[in-house]
Structure 1
Amino acid sequence: MNGLVTVAVVEDSPGADAHPSASELRYRLRQQSVLSDFGIEALRARELGPMLQRAAELCAEGMTARYAKFLERCPDRDALLVRAGVGWPEGVVGGVTIPADLGSPAGFAFKTGEPVISNHLENEERFRTPTFMAEAGIRRAINVVVEASGEKYGVLEVDSSDEGQFETADIAFMQGFANLIGVAIERQGAEARLAAAIEHQELLTREASHRVKNSLAMVSAMLNLQMHEDDDPRITRMLGDAQARIAAIALAHDRLWRGDRVGVVALDELVCGIVEGLAEQAEVDIPCIILAIEISADIAIPIGLVVTELVTNAIKYADGGIAVALGIEADEFVLTVDDRGPGMPAGFDIASASRDSLGMRMIASLSRQLKGAMSFEDADGGARAVLRFPDPRG
């Protein structure tokens, strides 16, 4: 095998046992610098094609060669595609394949898994020189295999049309590139699988929210029918309250599956949507000024339910002038519902009221869920409900 070098058959280079010269040391240090630069780029790379192209460019630079290429295994046949390269005429990169057999240095490296040096391609009896390489006058080649996830992915090759010798020490430099490429391919593959899994999970979450919203809308419609068939005002009121609560949760799920981010809703759209629905039913105008932020649905839904209860109570007992607002004061969210009604009953206590009113029990429970404090007070010729709770954005 004229000029063939593998790890099993090593061709001695002239002066191999002598101490390296100053120029040789500079050459090897330059290779280490180039390899280090590529390591940073490979670990940052997000796209495979540009990373492979950069590997070919830097590998050629480190070997002071004009030609380099990365040959990628073709998944549908036993061949290697020139996926990236430098120095080759137009049409070679991305358009030329060679058989992945033992008849070429790259094919031999790919099949055996061993690095190959061929310093005399013109005299080779075992290897054929691919046509595009012969046309470029390539005289010598060095090849290393790139593996990713335990499988051979391709071959990294540096070629030269100059006389000279690729040495066994060059294999270490080339193998360093091959190892970095393999790690980058594995990382990009893992990131792609993770992104696909997240996308699938988001799709399932959106579908679940859409189905929940539709189911709740159906329940709300059934309650509405029941309300119109029952003459008892107390039953009608209870069914109306239940319908409002269900509508609030349904609106939250509607925002969830329509939103850009899974599990997150726009607080102003949700709360003002709830208020608008309640105002339309009661045929009143209710101003709604809500902080325009996105928060987790786990926080937004309790806020929406509190607003539903407070606005529903204000509609029942106030003469009008209802307003809803939510802002930030000293790292706390402050929700207020004002009305122009008769004000709060003398000696009102939320704990006592909770024993007799489902709505008040829900308000107290939801306030605790938000780790907040609920208070009621007389204000501006009416009543004001104030809920303070920690900023849920942390």
Structure 2
Amino acid sequence: MSDHHPDLTYRLRQQAILSEFGVEALRGDDVDGLLQRATELCAEGMGAEFCKALEHLHDEDMLLVRAGVGWGPNVVGSARVGADLASPAGFALKTGRPVISNHLENEARFRTPQIMAEHGIRRAINVLIENREGAFGVLEVDDTREGMFTEADIAFMQGFANLLGGAIERQRTEGLLRQALTRQDLLVREMSHRVKNSLAIVASLLALQARNADAGPVRDALIDARTRVEAIAGVHDQLWRQGDTTPGEIDLGQFLETLAANLQGSAPSHRILCAAEPLRVSADRAIPMGLMVNELVTNAIKYAYPDRTGEVRVGAACAGGMLVLDVSDDGVGLPADFDIGRASRSLGMRVITNLARQLDARVATPRGQGARFRIEIPLEA
């Protein structure tokens, strides 16, 4: 420290600078930017001409100047300093102890590194940058002028080094976590792709059995089973395709539109319309929703229109903290005494009531032209 600095004011200023950098270190996500900012603030806090942050290159056992202030061209990003005990920075790295050298020209412990000699450096102070992963490198302040670095300056610099070490470790950990999440997402997508393919094979086998079966209850049951399997396969198909979104979630609107299009393909004489708002839902909830829509549309195709042709509408929208699924037609309508809670003789209605129970949903059948099913499902938190 130079003699002309009033000690208390000087130290308070250093603490303010250190606190400022602490906030940046917590928020920063760019190692090079943080290293550069640390060298700027460290030089400012110590009234020094030069500062540099050096990273230890393990394979070469050298210290690379990653950031710095005051240095000439071609130093930051390319200059290297020996990491052995014969250089001040190397000594700090290898021993883990701070190094003060206020008279480099008379120093018997170390040689003066070339870049420091070229810049006329007369005094230097080095502290170790480390974290739980080990030593990252060294933070060094240098000056060409007479003066004295002191133990109090070490405390200031070590504060910067500790903040840097923690920030570097955090960023590396976050990077590894992002890689792990990306890998997990890829694995989930691959698994969904395989599940979808397996379900498609099952659906094809059921369709083959249905074609070979005589017309009647057995054939109808096989066709129903195929459409249910295809509805579940549709969820896994969406999970596989929507890889750039939240893992384990799908766009319900897009899923229902695809489901309606598939059902349209199996009932060409009907017109199946879908108007669904975009909404992200988990696959665990999308499957029962899709199965309910599948059952209701299939029932409408079978029973709503005696002449086997007509319109079936599917809707999905959010209202009052609920997701509302709506399936309606303009056909013969439901029996006057219809009660979904007592419609246990129908497998389709039993499926719907069981699925609604899974979702904590309420199923209503508002009266009007044709049949209408309104399913209110609580939105996920």
Aligned position for 2:264? 279
1:341 aligns with 2:331: yes
- Displacement of 1:329 after TM fit? 3.0
- Displacement of 1:150 after TM fit? 5.0
- Counterpart selection for 1:315 from 290, 301, 304: 301
Aligned position for 1:268? 253
- Counterpart selection for 2:371 from 376, 379, 383: 383
Aligned position for 1:10? none
- Counterpart selection for 1:357 from 340, 346, 351: 346
Distance 1:239 1:150, change over 3 A: closer
Q: In 1, Cα distance between the equivalents of 2:128 and 2:197?
A: 55
- Counterpart selection for 1:202 from 185, 205, 210: 185
Is the Cα–Cα contact under 8 Å of residues 133 and 169 in structure 2 kept in the other structure? no
- Counterpart selection for 1:80 from 48, 63, 79: 63
Q: In 1, Cα distance between the equivalents of 2:206 and 2:323?
A: 33
Q: In 2, Cα distance between the equivalents of 1:47 and 1:328?
A: 40
| Identity percentage of aligned residues | 53
Is the Cα–Cα contact under 8 Å of residues 279 and 286 in structure 1 kept in the other structure? yes
1:101 partner SS: coil
1:287 partner SS: strand
1:239 aligns with 2:222: yes
Aligned position for 2:83? 100
Query: C-alpha deviations, 1:191-250, integer Å up to 9, x for none?
Result: 112112211211111111111011001111111111111113221111111111111111
- Return 5+ residue gaps in structure 1 as ranges: 1-12, 16-20
Q: In 2, Cα distance between the equivalents of 1:183 and 1:36?
A: 15
Q: In 1, Cα distance between the equivalents of 2:2 and 2:201?
A: 86
1:24 aligns with 2:10: no
- Displacement of 1:14 after TM fit? 11
Is the Cα–Cα contact under 8 Å of residues 68 and 159 in structure 1 kept in the other structure? yes
Aligned position for 2:292? 306
- Counterpart selection for 1:110 from 93, 106, 109: 93
2:65 partner SS: strand
1:292-303 paired onto structure 2 within 5 Å: 292-303=278-289
Distance 1:209 1:150, change over 3 A: closer
Q: In 2, Cα distance between the equivalents of 1:203 and 1:279?
A: 32
Runs of 4+ in structure 1 deviating by more than 6 angstroms, as ranges, are none
Q: In 1, Cα distance between the equivalents of 2:61 and 2:320?
A: 68
The normalised TM-score by structure 2 is: 0.95
Q: In 1, Cα distance between the equivalents of 2:55 and 2:318?
A: 57
Amino acid in structure 2 at the alignment position of 1:370: L
- Displacement of 1:272 after TM fit? 1.3
Distance 1:329 1:112, change over 3 A: closer
Superposed CA RMSD in Å reads: 1.6
2:271 partner SS: coil
1:231 partner SS: coil
Amino acid in structure 1 at the alignment position of 2:46: M
Q: How many residues align?
A: 374
Query: C-alpha deviations, 1:147-181, integer Å up to 9, x for none?
Result: 11151111100000111111111111011111111
Is the Cα–Cα contact under 8 Å of residues 2 and 147 in structure 2 kept in the other structure? no
- Displacement of 1:311 after TM fit? 0.1
- Counterpart selection for 1:253 from 209, 233, 236: 236
- Return 5+ residue gaps in structure 2 as ranges: none
Is the Cα–Cα contact under 8 Å of residues 138 and 161 in structure 1 kept in the other structure? yes
Distance 1:22 1:110, change over 3 A: closer
Aligned position for 1:224? 207
Q: In 2, Cα distance between the equivalents of 1:28 and 1:377?
A: 76
Q: In 1, Cα distance between the equivalents of 2:16 and 2:216?
A: 84
Q: In 2, Cα distance between the equivalents of 1:84 and 1:245?
A: 61
Is the Cα–Cα contact under 8 Å of residues 344 and 377 in structure 1 kept in the other structure? no
The normalised TM-score by structure 1 is: 0.91
